[in-house]
Structure 1
Amino acid sequence: MSIETTITRAWQRKAAWLWLLLPISWLYGLLVFLRRQAYRLGMLSSFRAPVPVMVIGNVTVGGSGKTPLIITLVSYLQQQGVKVGVISRGYGGDTSQMPALVTKESLPSTVGDEPCLIVNTTAAPMAVCPNRKQAITTLLNAHPDLQLIIADDGLQHYALQRDIEWIVVDVARGFGNEQLLPTGFLREPIARLKNTTVIYHEKPNGVSALNDSENLAQRLTMQLQPDELYPLLSVDELVELNAAKSAIPLSANAVPSKGDKVHAISGIGYPQRFFATLSTLGFDVIGHPYPDHHNFSLTELLQYTEHPMIVTTKDAVKIRTVLLTEISKINAIKSNESIDSHNGNDIRALINRLWILPVTATLSDTCYQTLQQQLTALDINMATSSHS
């Protein structure tokens, strides 16, 4: 078990030994405060983009639903005629090849898994680089007509000035012991939520545990709605691979159904949410959590036999690359044995067992109303106020 996984589990159960780390959290908090003040007072320089920037982030470590939210926002803005682009640090990618534009042909190992997912889903212009100024410059050089740039997970990147901030708070997860890293999982104090736009990520059809006194009709909320399972490789892709005389005959398999025992494989920031969603859908879940942005190996995937495997769309981006690469290796030597000693029949069985559970972020009406007001203030006009 990795150190990251150990710490994450300790945060989840509010382990008592975490309080031994409190002096480190105090030091971390002081550094966070001094750094932010340095930017506020101009002691450290920050970049103002030539177009408005909207930052989507959170004050906690781990997944809060930012990526599905960004996908929903980008799709909505595209429908409204707004020319929107996205930037990201490209976590998990090859920084030596950044800044880089993200295309549908980009590999997760080059630009990161989340950027691949965002572009494959929305086809939005996107660039990645740890230096957000370089990412924006690269993006605008390629797409000078953009009206708005959404920065993925740039809340603490104060070197980038922003016009809009949306902070996502996972209501089910809360703030743990409400301590800063490493005692707790807060990147910044809870007070950071003041004077910003807070989006409360709630369970579908659930009742909020935060701000109970607030008028629910005015709450800015989002929910992640699960969609239908679909196979890692589509029927069309299987046909195409077979037409190319693949050394591994591939065929479609029956979709897992309610009551089935399944392996839930997850390398996202908060895998328990994924496991809970599958349980709610009626599956008998065997959960296998991995660190966030984990690079799955073929050996890891092949160990889960007997039952169907269900993964997130984020993990599927990397797993798909792993399997297609292995198929290419096997085909290249025209044998049922791959150069990594994996039997072709094992690969075929693995592909048949793999399924993806997509989720869609659905936002409350007040989220769209707030967005429209914020964009109007920036002289960005949408074609219509409808979000149906």
Structure 2
Amino acid sequence: MSNPTRGKFTRLFNSIWYGGNPLKWLLWPAGWLYRAAVVLRRALYQRGMIRPVELAVPVVVVGNVTVGGTGKTPCIVWLADALKKRGLSTGIVTRGYGGQASSWPQWATRDSDPGEVGDEPVLLARRTASPVAAGPDRVATAKFLLGQRNVDVLLSDDGLQHYRMGRSFEIGVVDGVRGLGNGLCLPAGPLREPRQRLDAVDAIVVNSGSWGEGDVFRADLVPVRVVRLTDGATRDLDDFKGANVHAVAGIGHPERFFALLERHGIMVDPRPLADHAVIGEADLRFDDSVPVLITEKDAVKCREFAPENVWVVIVDLQFDGDDDERLTRLLMRRIEVRAGSK
């Protein structure tokens, strides 16, 4: 079931981080200390005082500098497909946040229990043809995967701050609508690392909105189909135009999902849940028969009990213009350099 208390804290911190709530100044000293700690940790790796673990294949890290959803998982799905088109096989490592497995690492397949391995690993297994391994120790998880699967490239979901794992290419994903909020580090702001961290990544993907300038890669999450959970029936999102729906979203930024539906002319009753919330049947049942639209990440947790009026909105990351080709060429050059150095 959803956690109302956690939801209240989420709304409070969002008002501090993105809404100008003056409580940020009360939290500023803690944010300064946090910032100093993460800057020191990164400096230890940069100066070679702590050495990362280099793996046998190129590692592409996709992450962000802010807390919450920015579109990292759809970016991983896009990457796996883009590299497959270039003839490269990929493996995916991910944290497995929310998973309650008694031991790690764990394989995540399309049929895995998201309560055991986490919701995002199951989603990645269903959306890609790549082997997916989950575990809190990224290096151990990567070695686990590489020890049992022969892949050309390893993709790390949400691994920007995991410096212990060496990497060949870094992609920072930014929510182009919310940007970097008030620009402060946790807990005063949403930043995991200072803004300057983005200057060091190899590519910045801006998901929607107008944040950023210069040589960034711009993309949007675009709905490609809507699938009924009980029987797999498929519709277009535009089929719901003008209809009243309940929209349930347990993701890092549920308002993005609600706004997507509203842009398609749908009358939305928003039902936000905490990120990675445990969803029960009561969260999907209402005192009417109107459709209930949910996200892909939530869908993996409720296939067994979803009512017949529950539909999942499938989205893909689609780039503006030729930004996808530009990003792929940049990435391939780095992979080729890594391969040539071995």
After TM superposition, the score normalised by the length of structure 1 is 0.79
Corresponding residue for residue 310 of structure 1:
293
Measured in 2, the distance between the counterparts of 1:235 and 1:187 equals 39
Corresponding residue for residue 219 of structure 2:
222
**CA deviation vs aligned residue, 1:318-339 (integer Å, no higher than 9, x gap):** 1214x1xxxxxxxxxxxxxxxx
Pairing 1:138–2:95 present: no
Question: Larger deviation: 95-104 or 356-365?
Answer: 95-104
CA contact (8 A) 2:82 2:328 kept: no
* Deviation of 1:9 (Å): 4.3
Corresponding residue for residue 187 of structure 1:
192
The correspondence of residues 1-388 of structure 1 with structure 2, limited to 5 A, is: 1=4, 2=6, 3-143=9-149, 145-196=150-201, 197-203=203-209, 208-211=210-213, 214=214, 219-235=216-232, 257-303=240-286, 305-321=288-304, 323=305, 351-364=307-320, 365-379=322-336
Against the structure 1 CA distance between its residues 5 and 296, is the aligned structure 2 distance closer, same or farther, given a 3 Å change threshold?
A: farther
**CA deviation vs aligned residue, 1:219-274 (integer Å, no higher than 9, x gap):** 411111112322112258xxxxxxxxxxxxxxx9xx96211111110000011110
- For the residue of structure 2 that corresponds to 1:351, the secondary structure is coil
Unpaired segments of 5 or more residues in structure 2?
Answer: none
Unpaired segments of 5 or more residues in structure 1?
Answer: 237-251, 324-349, 382-388
CA contact (8 A) 1:147 1:380 kept: no
Identity %: 36
CA contact (8 A) 1:58 1:168 kept: yes
Measured in 1, the distance between the counterparts of 2:164 and 2:99 equals 21
CA contact (8 A) 1:97 1:110 kept: no
- Tell me which amino acid in the other structure corresponds to 1:223: D
**CA deviation vs aligned residue, 1:180-218 (integer Å, no higher than 9, x gap):** 111111111111111321111125xxxx3432xx3xxx6
Against the structure 1 CA distance between its residues 163 and 140, is the aligned structure 2 distance closer, same or farther, given a 3 Å change threshold?
A: same
Answer with 1 or 2: which has the greater Rg. Answer: 1
- For the residue of structure 2 that corresponds to 1:318, the secondary structure is coil
Against the structure 1 CA distance between its residues 260 and 75, is the aligned structure 2 distance closer, same or farther, given a 3 Å change threshold?
A: same
RMSD: 2.2
CA contact (8 A) 2:107 2:134 kept: yes
Against the structure 1 CA distance between its residues 260 and 180, is the aligned structure 2 distance closer, same or farther, given a 3 Å change threshold?
A: same
Against the structure 1 CA distance between its residues 62 and 161, is the aligned structure 2 distance closer, same or farther, given a 3 Å change threshold?
A: same
* Deviation of 1:95 (Å): 4.5
Measured in 2, the distance between the counterparts of 1:270 and 1:190 equals 20
Measured in 1, the distance between the counterparts of 2:216 and 2:199 equals 15
* Deviation of 1:371 (Å): 2.7
After TM superposition, the score normalised by the length of structure 2 is 0.89
Question: Larger deviation: 7-16 or 44-53?
Answer: 7-16
* Deviation of 1:61 (Å): 0.6
- Tell me which amino acid in the other structure corresponds to 1:221: R
Measured in 2, the distance between the counterparts of 1:289 and 1:55 equals 29
- For the residue of structure 1 that corresponds to 2:300, the secondary structure is helix
CA contact (8 A) 1:101 1:138 kept: no
Corresponding residue for residue 332 of structure 1:
none
* Deviation of 1:73 (Å): 1.2
Task: Judging by fraction of residues, say which structure has more strand.
Answer: 2
* Deviation of 1:131 (Å): 0.6
